[in-house]
Amino acid sequence: MKLKKITALCLAAAVLASLSACSGGSAGTGTTTAGGTTAAAGEAKADEAAGAEGGSKVEVDRAKEFVTVATGPTSGIYYPIGGAFATALGNAGYKTSAQATGASVENINLILNGEAEIAISMQDSVMQAYEGFGAFEKAEPDLRALMRLWPNYVQLVTVESTGIKSVEDLKGKRVGVGAPNSGVELNARMIYEAYGMSYDDSQVDYLSYGEAIDQMKNGQCDAAFVTSGLPNATVSELAFSYDMVVIPIDGAGRDALIEKYPFFAASVIPADTYNNKEDVESVFVYNIMLVNKDLSDDVVYDMLDCIFADEGIATIKASHNTADKNIDLSFGVDDVKIPLHDGAAKWWKDHGYETPQN
């Protein structure tokens, strides 16, 4: 990630002081808890954030602010990580709630309808809403981001007996593409398009990836799209008990996908993530945290102070291994494709980072 490092060491202490200010806040009313904390997690990166212009200058009465965090299904990764954000803000004094949802598309609508203050969504879904294509009939230019989260890898999985070795081999097969208009399903639709195919080429089932993999075990589904962090527990279970194959997303189709939809990036699913002995070519798309545009700049700035305070980031990192590895101040926000909320843009700029507004 590109990062502007400002090396004035005399200001580094100011950054640490501003981030630490939230860790001692009064207890809030957060309704979701994360399991434990890690001692080393959540250190404010003095060498990378050095030179910030200090913390929030306006005192926010956190007890008067209610923050609903839209997460995802209780069986998925969004739920524990989103719940940890609610806990971190609640521990700092905000009144918070973590809401289980259908994930990306529903979360976008909750933000747009003013029914959530922050929400997790895959960036491809966000871009469809922001620009008005795909699952969204009209553009929603008021969508705003708070921060970047973790990468979701597109994992197209099958079992050896199907003979499927490429995306093109999905023709005529029974394919689980995700629940209708879910982030997984939007990924699947764009990948079919990039390879010159459509859903008409397969027997498509609009199943969640968990349901599709259960059907695969019963011989009623040939392949399933899974978009998540690595490793995915459901895919790991399939790989443990069956001769699972991860189908590559590569070649001209992948090039066409990235050219048309640049929020995708080429990547690999590393060897031994599952039962794969070699790296498998694929793509990933980031998750981002959306924030309601109607929140004041001061509240948004203060929430980021609390999220990246020692106690706050430790709580978030402890919620899931993916969060521990991929949610960190050092990653910045320069690969977020929509504008940040003005309060978030100021926070990230004050801490030395490039933003979409730069």
**What average pLDDT does the segment 176-184 reach?**
89
- Identify the residue with better confidence: 1 or 186: 186
Please provide the DSSP assignment of 98-155 as one string.
Answer: EE--S-HHHHHHHHHTTS-SEEEEEHHHHHHHHHT-TT-SS--TT-EEEEEEEEEEEE
- The residue whose two tokens read 């101040």 is 329
d(CA 245, CA 248): 9
Q: Does the global pTM surpass 0.85? A: no
**What average pLDDT does the segment 24-35 reach?**
36
Q: Would you state the structure tokens that stand for residue 240, as one six-digit string? A: 């443990």
202 close to 158: Cβ distance less than 8 angstroms: no
Please provide the DSSP assignment of 15-62 as one string.
Answer: HHHHHHTTTTPPP---S-------SSTT---HHHHTT---S-SS---G
Domain ranges of the chain: 9-117+292-350, 152-286
Lowest-pLDDT range of 125-129, 230-234, 335-339: 230-234
**What average pLDDT does the segment 306-328 reach?**
96
Binned at pLDDT 50, 70 and 90, residue 144 comes out as: very high
CATH of domain 9-117+292-350: 3.40.190.10
Q: Would you state the structure tokens that stand for residue 80, as one six-digit string? A: 């524990």
Lowest-pLDDT range of 18-22, 26-30, 208-212: 26-30
pLDDT tens sequence across 266-315? 999 999 999 999 999 999 999 999 999 999 999 999 999 999 999 999 99
Q: Is the pLDDT at 185 greater than 70, yes or no?
A: yes
Q: How many CB atoms lie within 10 A of CB 293?
A: 16
- The residue whose two tokens read 């966000």 is 126
d(CA 22, CA 143): 27
Beta bridge partners of 265: 284
Q: Is the pLDDT at 53 greater than 50, yes or no?
A: no
| CATH superfamily of the 152-286 domain | Periplasmic binding protein-like II (3.40.190.10)
What DSSP element (H or E) covers 71? none
- Identify the residue with better confidence: 246 or 5: 246
Long-range contacts of residues 100-103, Cβ cutoff 8 Å, at least 24 apart: 100/71, 100/72, 100/73, 100/74, 101/70, 101/71, 101/72, 101/73, 102/72, 102/73, 102/179, 102/182, 103/71, 103/72, 103/73, 103/76, 103/78, 103/182, 103/183
- Identify the residue with better confidence: 247 or 24: 247
* The domains spanning 9-117+292-350 and 152-286 adopt the same CATH topology: yes
**What average pLDDT does the segment 197-220 reach?**
95
Binned at pLDDT 50, 70 and 90, residue 74 comes out as: confident
309 close to 17: Cβ distance less than 8 angstroms: no
